[in-house]
Amino acid sequence: MTFPVRTPDHSPRAVFAREASPSQRSFLPSFRPILRLAAPARFAAGGVLAALMLTLAMPGAAQTNGKPRTKVAQAVLEEEVVPQRYANHPDVDAFINDLVARDGFDRGELQKVFSRVVFSQTAARLAAPPATTAKKNWQVYQSRFLDGMRINNGVRFWNENSAALARASQEFGVPEEIIVAIIGVETIYGRNMGNFRTIDALTTLAFDYPAARNRTERMALFRKELESLLLYARDRGIDPFSLYGSYAGAIGIPQFMPSSIREYAVDYSGNGKINLTGDAADAIGSVGNFLKLHGWEANRPVIWHIAPDPGSQGVAEAGADGRPEPHWKLQDFIKAGLLMNESKLDVGAELGTPVLIVDLPTPGQPTQYRVGLQNFYVLTRYNRSFFYAMAVYELSTAIKAARAP
């Protein structure tokens, strides 16, 4: 059988920042501090470029005369602040009309909300397409997430939340280590949830998305997320200006977009509230619920390993068409000569199993291949990248091994 060959786009920017799934945000956590300025009245009619000098005191390991020496770093941050940019804005006014007609919002209340929204130049800059596209590099990407810090903190997070994780695993059929690894990749277990005011970021990208080939589609998508944010805030009695997250609008420990919060988030601590920012149990239950509703199969593998012989690798290369859903049968590859590297796998019993080929390229080295199953596909629903899904899987196995007695 002949397999079509196509090189998939696994760039972290190929699907960005949690737009169609809760994980669409930038892959790598950003530790860039953003200071949100309240707009003085004298700036009401224009933009101001605020250059902020921060002095960050960081305890260092070096010592002087037996005493810890403090390292001091300075960072200059720039963010254009345009107060009332979205007040009496034609596109925003049309958006308000839609929400009034579709969702029953009060027009005056929405006008007040958007008169307070601030344009975020930083969010717009971070959303801009890169000037040049770097080659995909699995080993570099892998090293960013499979490190001692994430593994050790993953064990700690698991131990501290073992009851909620065990309950979620039983209820949703998702292994504890998978839920832990997703949270570890997303926010380092809640350490880096983002510090952009969500309504500012979403409004900026909904109406001032930077120049891009698909700018119209992106703005439409962010307008849907902005609508979801306003609905969520109204339904839950939350001040929309109180929510903070990534530059693309992802919120909380699991980095859910507003639409995903409304559809998949659960009150797993049983206190009558959904709090993805401060309640680890809610984050754990919500991740489990998301994966289950996207088709997670309990007690089934995520990937299978392929034998390293040239023939098997060649068959895998031919079948790597970039499609994330399982659309081949394992027997298609076995008949073509692919050998598996799984000692406990009953190949004959799995010949009819739907699979895909996962390719993990690194420049200058042979591309690595895996056989992906339904659960691998489900991980790509959280973030639509083979690299992301594989990093979650490998981190999960490392955390589980580190926690074992």
79, 186, 227, 350: the active-site residue:
186
Is 350 an active-site residue?
no
- CB burial readout 277-304, b (16+ within 10 A) else e: bebbbbbbbbbbbbbbebebeeeebbbb
32 token code pair: 């860039």
24 vs 121: CA distance, rounded Å:
20
Residues forming the active site:
186
